[in-house]
A and B are shown apart, each in its own frame.
Chain A
Amino acid sequence: MSRLAARAPRPSTVTAGILLAGLAACSFASAGYVASQLVGDGASGMVVAFYESLFGLALLFAVNMRALSRGAQPPRNGILWGLAAGVAYAFAIGAFYTSLERIPFSVAAPITGAVPLASYAFVLLLLRGSERITRRAALGAAMVVAGVAMVGVSA
């Protein structure tokens, strides 16, 4: 019993992860709202996205200076996957802010709520065997996407 208890996963870790993801959702939505006020006001979506990521990088370095100074050389595999993710995010942010030049934030933002569906499709391709999609997770994701679609249609 005690061994089982020692090996049992900690739901609090998952809960903390869920809360952090919620905080991230609020932060991204706020950044998107500010972007919608900036785009088209003498600057293109790409330029806004560039300066946002440039300032973000500077702030990240400032916050994590100590951790960086004692950081070990990362493995090559990790670097390559990280670089690929960086390019994908650049396409994503650039496309989103460029879309804000043509459609309102209240229309563009709900469309990005379908990211879970896109993630699940790519999980099946790239993370098969290491991440599992449970029925309940699929149902929850479908409900989130349906809700986002309703918000989008009403917008």
Chain B
Amino acid sequence: MAFGVGLAIFCTLCFGLGDVIARRAMFHLSPAGILFITVPMTVVSLGAAVLLAEGPGAFSGHGLAFFGLAALMGFLAYVSGNVSYFHGMKRAGVTLAAPILGAGPLFGVLLAVTLGGERPGLLTIGGAFVIVAGVAVLVSDRERIAE
């Protein structure tokens, strides 16, 4: 459990670093240009990690349903997700776009409730309201918008 939480925290740090580096790359490249450099690098890095950690056998033995869902995830994460995010970052800056992306777990909780049948507690509902209020504070930042 603790190792899993540690991995999620490590993931958070890497996403934060990746976002800022991608923003830095935007000084030289368009959002689409960055995608065509970052995504192949991500594929190569993950492929190398799987080869080293699990061997070539890990790539095979998966059914059609697995590949169908992986393709759906690829679309959600890279086509509608990354493309929207990089264009959003280009227009609003990383200091506005990143916190809005941070509200994504709220949508995840909604999915867990509607698709997974989970019942959220009072703290979850309160947290959801705080997230929405935080996003409202961000999007009404006149000083940032006026820059």
Shortest distance between the CB of B111 and any CB in chain A (Å) = 5
What is the chain B residue whose CB lies nearest that of A138?
A: B95
When the two chains form their complex, are residues B46 and A90 in contact, meaning their CB atoms are under 8 A apart? Answer: yes
Given contacts A34-B73, A60-B36, A154-B123, contact A105 B20 (CB under 8 A): no
Which residues from B are CB-within-8-Å of A137?
A: 95-96, 99, 138, 141, 144
When the two chains form their complex, are residues A26 and B107 in contact, meaning their CB atoms are under 8 A apart? Answer: yes
Which residues from B are CB-within-8-Å of A113?
A: 102-105, 131
When the two chains form their complex, are residues A126 and B24 in contact, meaning their CB atoms are under 8 A apart? Answer: yes
**Number of CB contacts from chain A to chain B under 8 A:** 495
Report Cα–Cα, A98/B10, bound state, in Å.
Answer: 11
Report Cα–Cα, A28/B97, bound state, in Å.
Answer: 14
B7 in complex: contacting residue of A64, A90, A102, CB < 8 Å:
A102
Given contacts A9-B146, A54-B74, A137-B144, contact A32 B108 (CB under 8 A): yes
Interface membership of A69, Cβ < 8 A: no
What is the chain B residue whose CB lies nearest that of A123?
A: B20
When the two chains form their complex, are residues B19 and A119 in contact, meaning their CB atoms are under 8 A apart? Answer: yes
When the two chains form their complex, are residues A121 and B16 in contact, meaning their CB atoms are under 8 A apart? Answer: yes
When the two chains form their complex, are residues A17 and B102 in contact, meaning their CB atoms are under 8 A apart? Answer: no
Q: What are the nearest 3 A-B pairs in CB distance?
A: A118-B16, A86-B41, A56-B78
